[in-house]
Chains A and B, each alone.
Chain A
Amino acid sequence: MDLRQALEIVSLTDPGRVRSHNEDNISTDNEAGFAILADGMGGYNAGEVASGIAVTMLADGLKTALRVGPPEQDPGLLVKNEVEKTNSAIHQTAQSQPQFSGMGTTLVCALFYDNRIIVAHVGDSRLYRYRQKETGPAQFEQITRDHSLLQEQIDSGMISREDARLSSNKNLVTRALGVDPTVDVEVQEHEALPGDIYLLCSDGLNDMVGDEEIHLTLSVLGANLELAAQQLVQMANDNGGRDNVSVILVRVLRHFPAKRGIFDWLSAWFKK
């Protein structure tokens, strides 16, 4: 598959204003059609190691699977399996080397395949969708739901959404890659439409910048993704830049149906 004509991808990662090093890692590929973002955690530089392994391994796995054409398995399953492999690799590294003990990482991955977006995530890194409507205002939605203590508290009604903004538990994630031998990956599939803009981000963005401001940025600067990415990072830093901040923006330029095998193509042709 070559999605270079169908996807425009820009990305930006920044250590922020407070922390000296960047534990976020990102990888994008508009030929294979994916974007991956990971926010590492753990002492010293173990966080960087965990997010680095996650992004590199997952990118390699997806590239290999997609290089030869359509994947042999369902793409949702493919992403899930690749993320699980990555989890084992990080977990084993953490077990075998004491300096990496306890390291982990969040992950959000978007794979574009056959006019669909497959979203896999673990932890509190997010995917948002900005979609313009033919009639009415554009929609801006958070597609992933954080795997965090706070989100659980909201879901169970213990805490209101407004109070959540002030909570001190924002940073407690309930799922992470590399912490346990197995991981529960959440995978979703959605239709992707030309004109959609997808935003993958680490919590360094959404802890610092409200959803309304992110929405405003995409609606005003959507024509220039490069500038939109810079503006998002700048806003996070202007608001304090307490954490590393990473953003990936993906615009769908046109439909991208998967190529059919010769048999499918012929049978479709005969049915005409």
Chain B
Amino acid sequence: MAKLIINLDGQLLSEFELDKERITIGRKPHNDIPIDNLAISGEHAAITTFHNGAFIEDLGSTNGTLVNQQPITKHALHHGDEIEIGKYRLKYVNIQELGSKIEAHENDAHDFERTMILRPSHVPTTLSGDNPTSDMMAHTIPLILPEAAQRAETAARPNATAAEAREPHAVVQILSGANAGKELELTKTLTSLGKPGIQVAVITRRPHGYFLTHVQGDHYPAVNGQELDAHPRQLADHDMIELAGVKMEFYLK
């Protein structure tokens, strides 16, 4: 069963089992997780659990809800996600989800090893000063930036693909029009929808979820009947998208 680990200023406060289909978090005492703090709204957020997944939604709180430092209205939770409400941090822990991913981790072990080879200490120490001496600049100038070491680590980022493999798999299924029934796998960082020149929107895959953004055309797409503006909108499982007269459903597999 999944649970929340609740922290305040780095101090562990308590753990909470997600043993009900829906639990609420808020300042008022009737909430499942009552947090008596003025930064928190009476009914602040709710977590709904289904099968082996869960999502969190903000219940129109005054100060908002963050997941992994991004403001959300609705967000599918994954093992390790950190929810922020006021100064409280709630870590979502789902052992089952973790277990099913260990295999994926092991497949990527090779990449992790490669990462280890490139430690910052491999940067030649003679060059690592912030202010290289003018002698060193003489001919071919190996100018070094202070963040050299950090970038060296970044260079070894092929394990980004490991992170991607752990992402749940998202799909858009077309529900109406000529292509009804077709499924679009959202495997790329960007997937465009619509008709070029008329109305185009794009779904971007980011580390913390999928976002729908208007690209082109006089009309904006709608999600669950609500028209978008120029800003990206995060998609939640089973959101209904309407674009150029075609209905489609977004869901996680």
Contacts and interface: CB of A to CB of B under 8 A. Distances in A.
B143 A216 contact: no
Contact of B142 (A42, A102, A149, A235): A149
A129 interface: no
Nearest to B163: A239
Contact of A165 (B130, B155, B189): B155
B182 interface: no
A213 B151 contact: no
Interface in A137-196: 149, 165-168, 170-176, 179-180
A242 B150 contact: yes
Contact of B213 (A170, A172, A223, A227): A227
B144 A171 contact: yes
Contact of A166 (B145, B155, B160, B204): B155
A213 B196 CA distance: 20
Given A166-B155, A208-B154, A221-B215, A172 B143 contact: yes
Given A227-B215, A231-B204, A166 B156 contact: yes
B245 interface: no
A224 to B, nearest CB: 5
Nearest to A94: B134
Nearest to B114: A166
Interface string B206-229: 110000010110000000000000
A48 interface: no
B206 A238 contact: yes
B131 A224 contact: no
A158 to B, nearest CB: 14
Contacts of B20: none
Contacts of A104: 141, 143
B164 to A, nearest CB: 11
A239 B145 contact: no
Contacts of A26: none
A264 to B, nearest CB: 39
A149 B200 CA distance: 42
Interface in A211-240: 213, 216-217, 220-221, 223-224, 227, 231, 234-235, 238-240
A41 interface: yes
B170 interface: no
Interface in B99-141: 114, 118, 122-123, 127, 130-132, 134, 137, 140-141
B2 interface: no
Contacts of A221: 190, 202, 215
Interface in B16-49: none
A19 B145 CA distance: 12
B50 to A, nearest CB: 27
A101 interface: yes
Contact of A170 (B130, B134, B155): B155
A207 interface: yes
Interface in A96-136: 101-102, 104
B157 interface: yes
Contact of A41 (B122, B143, B156, B213): B143
Given A43-B131, A227-B213, A240-B157, A176 B148 contact: no
Contacts of A171: 144-145, 147-148, 151
Nearest to B138: A180
A130 to B, nearest CB: 14
Contacts of B51: none
Contact of B151 (A42, A149, A170, A234): A170
A242 B147 contact: yes
A221 B232 CA distance: 14
Nearest to A101: B131
Interface string A230-260: 0100110011101100000000000000000
A210 to B, nearest CB: 9
B215 to A, nearest CB: 5
B146 interface: yes
Contacts of B196: 223
23 contacts: A19-B147, A41-B145, A101-B134, A102-B131, A102-B132, A104-B143, A165-B158, A168-B152, A170-B152, A172-B143, A173-B142, A174-B141, A207-B151, A207-B155, A213-B189, A223-B196, A223-B200, A224-B215, A227-B213, A234-B204, A239-B157, A239-B160, A243-B151
Given A165-B155, A173-B142, A243-B147, 10 more contacts: A149-B140, A166-B158, A173-B141, A174-B142, A175-B141, A207-B155, A223-B216, A224-B216, A234-B206, A239-B157
CB-based closest 5 A-B pairs: A168-B152, A172-B142, A220-B190, A43-B130, A223-B216
